[in-house]
A and B are shown apart, each in its own frame.
Chain A
Amino acid sequence: MSAVARLRARFAAKPDQPLKLIGATGQLGYGVPEPAFTAALARKPDMIGADMGSTDIGPTFLGSGQMATAGEQTRRDLEKLLVGARSHDIPLIIGSAGSAGAAAHLDATLAMIREIAAEHGLSFKLAVIHSDMDRNSVSAAVEAGRVRGMGVLPDLTVEEVRASSNLVGQAGTEAFIRALETEPDVIIAGRACDTGIYACIPEWLGFPTGLTVHMAKIVECASLCCLPGGRDPILAVLDKQGFVLESMNPARAATPMSVAAHSLYEQADPHRITEPEGASLVDTATYSAVDDRRTRVAGARWQPAEQLTIKLEGARYLGERAVLLAGSADPRFIQNVKTLLEEVKAVVQELVCGAGVAPDYDLTFRTYGLDAVFPWPDPPATPPREIFILGEVIAPTTDRALAVTKSTKQYLLHHGFPGRLSTSGNIAFPFTPPELAAGPAYRFNAYHLMEVDDLAAHFPVTTELVG
């Protein structure tokens, strides 16, 4: 009998028992603290969950198929969770595999899982949720006017759909429940809503949806909802009326205020948690202290969506990136730097492209110390003592990007201007070469909502026996 089948049988025999869920990590691959994870296993949880992905990391990982986390650490974290869950026969659910949850990320994650299983002699049933969107279906939805924008990106077009290097959808609780129906031991999902990881088992077992989605949204960030917030695993004990949160690190306290404040984190609206199937309305939620380290939460309501939607995420290839790193401590150069950088841009363009020829690259300067992080409307009252200049080039090839960056470096170093004192060089290099290839560049070209009549068709579930 698999871990999920056993859990199902246990709740069929006694439906009114509480459910114990462990949020192991909000970002697998940066390290799961060992003492708190060991403490979590000692509580005999009914499931262990982990999230691996986000759009926070930018479009490059989605586009390239690479993980944002280091392979070695990712493998170590997966090993800790898989061995821990299997040795205690606890269902393990991991969402947004490999940072962005496209096929390449999922495949790399599954390869690690199989390797770890072989090394430790583990055998189990694995269910996999696939989140890559079928381009024809999405194009048809675009043409039918069933895809809508959510902000600064223009309306999605069929051309953009075809040009995405990867195009995924966020799988919801629905897909995880289909995976549970196969009665596996382990579920690994491609791109997925972080709530689905934790909401699926309680919803499948009949716990109220509004409550479980609220719980899921909190535990998916592990102990971030605590005081002090941190990365340690968290335990949620859920019953039909509410749930109690407890960090598995005794130094962290889930207080009513810290848990309530977590509803603000990275959410546009603190009063509702919107999912493909509906929204959990948390404005009626209550937070009460059980003791000085545990808080009980209740009161969220569920509002089913009138229209099912899938959030699409796509990234499109732009070219190869190279960067220039340089600083300056010269007051005359710093005073004139904005003008000088524009002059150097023009000089470089003529040199690397020829007079009057449009550039085949983008060159951007950021001047740290002045306005690199925020576009301040006015210069500082007192000029900074030093500035850092980051030059960024995106060009069709790495060689081309480096060639433009190298010319930029040399002409910026020796660019003359009236009043110049430091005639042997305008900038300081921290090391050489100061121009570095930074790999492929992408942009998000899809972050849209697609209306669908049926979620299941878009997120196939496959199973395999590992080991």
Chain B
Amino acid sequence: MRLMEMARVVRSKNAGPLHLTFDIMLETEADYERCLAAPGLRAEPIAKIYSVSANAVAITPYPTARAIKITLPRHEAAGAPGDRDVYGAQQHAPLLEIEV
């Protein structure tokens, strides 16, 4: 199953102009555990998708809201020439295809 078929929310946004943060929210405890265990949601594959180094990727489980947060650096400050997404609100798209 792909993440887009399981998650209740998959979103991205700037966390300040230098970082992107992604939230994956799950409906059930079982889905949350399944996403936490999914190899595709570890730092290395996420780093590859976003072309950053794996040690720059912070993955934080947030059980209170059955959510997983991923934070990583932007390639340029928001709004710099060549930026594709000033608010960072559409950078989640590649995550949707991840097998969980």
Check if A364 sits within 8 Å of B81, measured CB to CB.
yes
Instruction: Output the least CB separation between B60 and chain A (Å).
Output: 6
Verify if B77 is at the interface (C-beta below 8 Å from A): yes
Check if A447 sits within 8 Å of B16, measured CB to CB.
yes
Instruction: Report the contact-size class of chain A (Cβ under 8 Å from the partner).
Output: 35 or more
**Which secondary structure dominates chain B's binding surface?**
loop
Per the bound structure, the CA–CA distance linking A270 and B19 in Å amounts to 14
Per the bound structure, the CA–CA distance linking A80 and B90 in Å amounts to 34
Check if B81 sits within 8 Å of A150, measured CB to CB.
no
Check if B84 sits within 8 Å of A444, measured CB to CB.
no
Contacts of B77 in A (CB 8 A): 59, 151-153, 443-444, 447
**Which secondary structure dominates chain A's binding surface?**
loop
Per the bound structure, the CA–CA distance linking A261 and B91 in Å amounts to 20
Write out, one digit per residue, whether chain A residues 226-259 have a CB within 8 A of any chain B CB (1) or not (0): 0000000000000000000000000000000100
Instruction: Report the contact-size class of chain B (Cβ under 8 Å from the partner).
Output: 35 or more
Contacts of B86 in A (CB 8 A): 56-58
A151-B73, A447-B17 as given contacts; A260 in contact with B65, CB under 8 Å: yes
Check if B17 sits within 8 Å of A287, measured CB to CB.
no
Check if A152 sits within 8 Å of B74, measured CB to CB.
yes
Instruction: Output the least CB separation between A212 and chain B (Å).
Output: 20
Chain B 56-71 interface residues, beta-carbon cutoff 8 Å to A: 58, 60, 62, 64-65, 67, 69, 71
Nearest chain A residue, comparing its CB with the CB of B77: A444
User: Among A31-39, A156-164, A370-378, which stretch is in contact with chain B?
Assistant: A370-378
Check if A270 sits within 8 Å of B15, measured CB to CB.
no
Instruction: Output the least CB separation between B78 and chain A (Å).
Output: 6
A55-B78, A444-B77, A447-B77 as given contacts; A374 in contact with B17, CB under 8 Å: no
Instruction: Output the least CB separation between B44 and chain A (Å).
Output: 16
Check if B74 sits within 8 Å of A151, measured CB to CB.
yes
Check if A366 sits within 8 Å of B84, measured CB to CB.
yes
A59-B77, A443-B79 as given contacts; A270 in contact with B62, CB under 8 Å: yes
Nearest chain B residue, comparing its CB with the CB of A443: B80
- The number of inter-chain residue pairs (CB within 8 angstroms) is 114
Verify if A428 is at the interface (C-beta below 8 Å from B): no
A268-B71, A374-B90 as given contacts; A150 in contact with B18, CB under 8 Å: yes
Verify if B85 is at the interface (C-beta below 8 Å from A): yes
Check if B62 sits within 8 Å of A152, measured CB to CB.
no
Per the bound structure, the CA–CA distance linking A257 and B94 in Å amounts to 26
Contacts of B51 in A (CB 8 A): 375
Instruction: Output the least CB separation between A440 and chain B (Å).
Output: 12
Verify if A263 is at the interface (C-beta below 8 Å from B): yes
Out of A268, A394, A443, name the residue touching B21 (CB < 8 Å): A268
Contacts of A375 in B (CB 8 A): 51, 84
Per the bound structure, the CA–CA distance linking A59 and B81 in Å amounts to 11
Q: Which of B13, B16, B23, B90 has the most CB of A within 10 A?
A: B16
Check if B60 sits within 8 Å of A271, measured CB to CB.
yes
A264-B23, A266-B15, A268-B71 as given contacts; A373 in contact with B85, CB under 8 Å: yes
25 cross-chain CB contacts under 8 A: A55-B17, A56-B14, A58-B78, A58-B79, A151-B18, A152-B75, A153-B18, A153-B77, A261-B25, A261-B65, A265-B23, A270-B60, A270-B62, A270-B65, A270-B67, A285-B64, A318-B81, A374-B85, A374-B90, A374-B91, A392-B81, A441-B81, A444-B79, A447-B16, A447-B18
Binding site for A on B (CB under 8 A): 13-19, 21, 23, 25, 51, 58, 60, 62, 64-65, 67, 69, 71, 73-82, 84-87, 90-91, 93-94
Binding site for B on A (CB under 8 A): 55-60, 150-153, 257, 260-261, 263-271, 285, 287, 318, 362, 364, 366, 372-376, 392, 394, 441-444, 447
